[in-house]
Amino acid sequence: MTFTSFQFGVFVAIVFGIYYLPPLRSFQVPLLVLASVFFYGFGQPWLLPLLLVAVLGTYLCRVLAFENRTVWMPAGIVFNLGLLAFFKYKFLFVDPAAADLTGVAPIDVLLRLPLPIGISFFVFHNISLLVDLTREKRAVRLREVFLYIIFFPQLVSGPITRAAQFMPQIVPKRIGDVAFVEAAKWILVGYFFKLYVANNLNEMTSYMDFPLYETLRTQDRWLLVFLYSYQIYADFFGYSAIALGLGLLFGYRLPVNFNLPYISVSFSEFWTRWHISLSSWLRTYLYIPLGGNRHGPARTGLNMMIVMTLGGLWHGASLSYALWGMAHGVLLVIERPFLKLMGDGRPAVRVIRMGIVFFCVTILWIFFKLPNFDHALSYLKGMFVATDAPNPPKLFTNLALLYALPVIIQHVGIGALVEGRLRRWEPYLYGALAALACLEAGPDSTFIYFQF
């Protein structure tokens, strides 16, 4: 979803101003639904009917599941997974460059429809709705279903909110109850990480793409991998923080999605800190139904591998994404027997473990950055074999450190320090973050939600 910063600010201000008008308090939910439809259709209006089909199909299955849950809840899940598979994985089986994909005109038209923005997120919301509400046999109105699925702060990029967490929050809102300070903090931090850190690092890490990486020296390949690790965190954390702040403005508390993942001392801890809402969703709706850890070590390891591989494929339809998820599954399986033996350990041991986890996670980001498996292997090979690049690009190491520094500072605990002994300097810190974000952005810059 693409807006200029100015357009997005005007959109939020208009919706916010109308939302809290006292005469319209009973229309707050329909207003947010209409605003979310406009937000979604701003870039792809021709795909609004698909969104409507997804929501209404899920709602119908939910209603029918009240009478026969064993049939209609699985039917609703299959319906949603079918939508996701069709749009996201269809080109694994057909050649998009072919003049006639199947030879049947109506089917070819459907196959050529573009990937809907945020389909991975609203499909997962639909499944959560089906499972949670049919289990509780809780009746909800259609407009509440629409709001849960397409609430615009989280529509295209998450975090993934469970229906059981979001639905109880759908009550009339008053402007006096808005946590303005907390919302402003989240939005400022999110914009800073998105515009200042991620966008600037992206200028450098673009050299990781094929064929640009073939011009890199070996040491530059290593540098860019670590910069990409900081960039992708800043990108993901940035949009999640913005979404959380916007949710608070409208009276909805979305789940925190990232919690300093690069200080993790184990891979299992990493996945309790990285994309927390996705990890929680996979654990609740996939890992536990598969049996979790209830059927012995071998079955537990297999369940982990299945969940992590499918989690990788959720991000994209390519071998690289599948191997990225599979590799994380292997690491989780290998470390599991040793977690209790290692314990917390001394500070020096914890630092070493943090370094090992961060290094492995960072190397695996190569497969995330380069979905083409051959390109990923070629890049990885060039990190260990000296390359002779006649005219290598000049990477400014000082600038790289400057843009990566906020992620490093955040992970060493500056937040706790500011909230404690340096609390009186907090307004100046947030003011500086806002100034740097605006300096890098400007009124006509592009505001882009990262999406899968």
Q: Which of 28, 229, 46, 241 is nearest to 146 (CA)?
A: 28
* SS3 category, 94: coil
- Please indicate whether residue 328 is annotated as part of the active site: no
Burial of 193 (0-12, 13-18, 19+ CB in 10 A): buried
Integer-rounded Cα Rg, in Å, for the chain is 23
Contacts of 424 (CB under 8 A, 6+ apart): none
Contacts of 293 (CB under 8 A, 6+ apart): 300, 303
Q: Which of 125, 275, 295, 315 is catalytic?
A: 315
Query: Rounded to whole angstroms, what are the CA distances from 13 to 8, 196, 372?
Result: 9, 23, 41
- DSSP assignment letter at 140: -
Longest Cα pair distance anywhere in the chain, in angstroms? 70
Query: Rounded to whole angstroms, what are the CA distances from 78 to 71, 81, 130, 142?
Result: 11, 5, 11, 21
Q: Which residues are catalytic?
A: 315
